[in-house]
Structure 1
Amino acid sequence: MKTLPALLFCLLLGACASYEWRHPSDASANFDADSYQCQTDAAKLYPPMLRERTLHPPMYYPPRNYCNAEGRCNWTTGRWEPAETENYDANEMPRRELYQSCLKAKGWLRIRTK
């Protein structure tokens, strides 16, 4: 059990890490220009594709009879809880992967700074 707190600490510490892109061999490299070109290329191949996913389906809660210690009872009415959905971009992951591989192809390295 002593390893669990240490493992959680390491996970939290890793979640706080920050990264930046650096070009090791070319001091005159322009990250903004390369980044813009890579983003544009990735967006052309993987444009935003919005999809909807269901987080939980609709649920019906039937009427129930609640009684207290004194024997007084109350009925609740049945009710429907609607489904919970969210929108997401189905192309976000491949677009990000293409962007990062494009920068790497141009010589950029993603370096951990913290």
Structure 2
Amino acid sequence: MLWRFLPVLFAGVVLGGCTTWVKPGATDLDRERDSSACEVDSYNHYPPRLRQVLVEPAHWEPMVEDCYTDKKGRRRCTRSGGYFVPNRYGTADENDAPRRSVYEACMYKYGWQKE
């Protein structure tokens, strides 16, 4: 059940990204208060909607043969690879972009600007 709250825990990182919000005369506490209110508002409008996405398609890892000559002049070879790698999947939040738009509009409404 904890997994249901993970998106909210990481909302500051996801929504904030590398953007710094500034407002003349405002403190860090003011920014955190307004940012938290905007995060709640954005998640109320656009809750997480996760879907499975293909990250890496299935493929064959080719066999590689590495050969060398040993001290006695004999040819030695080692092989690696030559196996199937199945599809690798991840998750994507379909509501991420619209949620970010609601968050930014909310911050602008409170008088904050991106720096």
What TM-score, normalized by structure 1, do the two folds share?
0.56
Equivalent residue, structure 2, for 1:102: 106
State the AA in 1 paired with 2:31: F
Higher RCO (Cα < 8 Å, 6 or more apart)? 1
Aligned-residue Cα RMSD (Å) equals 3.6
Taking a change above 3 Å as real, the CA distance of residues 77 and 100 of structure 1, as seen in their structure-2 partners, is: closer
Taking a change above 3 Å as real, the CA distance of residues 74 and 42 of structure 1, as seen in their structure-2 partners, is: closer
Establish whether residue 84 from structure 1 lines up as the match of residue 88 from structure 2. yes
For the 8 Å contact 2:21–2:31, the answer to whether it is kept is no
Distance in 1 between residues matched to 2:66 and 2:39, nearest whole Å: 59
Structure 2, unaligned runs of 5 or more: 1-17, 69-73
Structure 1, unaligned runs of 5 or more: 1-16
Equivalent residue, structure 1, for 2:52: 52
Identity of aligned residues (%): 28
Distance in 2 between residues matched to 1:107 and 1:19, nearest whole Å: 13
Equivalent residue, structure 2, for 1:21: 22
Matched residue count: 93
What TM-score, normalized by structure 2, do the two folds share?
0.56
Distance in 1 between residues matched to 2:64 and 2:30, nearest whole Å: 67
CA deviations over 1:56-104 (Å, ceiling 9, x no partner)? 2212458899999x99999989532111222122212221121011110
**1:52 Cα deviation (Å)?**
1.6
Taking a change above 3 Å as real, the CA distance of residues 25 and 77 of structure 1, as seen in their structure-2 partners, is: closer
Taking a change above 3 Å as real, the CA distance of residues 75 and 39 of structure 1, as seen in their structure-2 partners, is: closer
For the 8 Å contact 2:58–2:88, the answer to whether it is kept is yes
Taking a change above 3 Å as real, the CA distance of residues 42 and 67 of structure 1, as seen in their structure-2 partners, is: same
Taking a change above 3 Å as real, the CA distance of residues 67 and 101 of structure 1, as seen in their structure-2 partners, is: same
SS at match of 1:80: strand
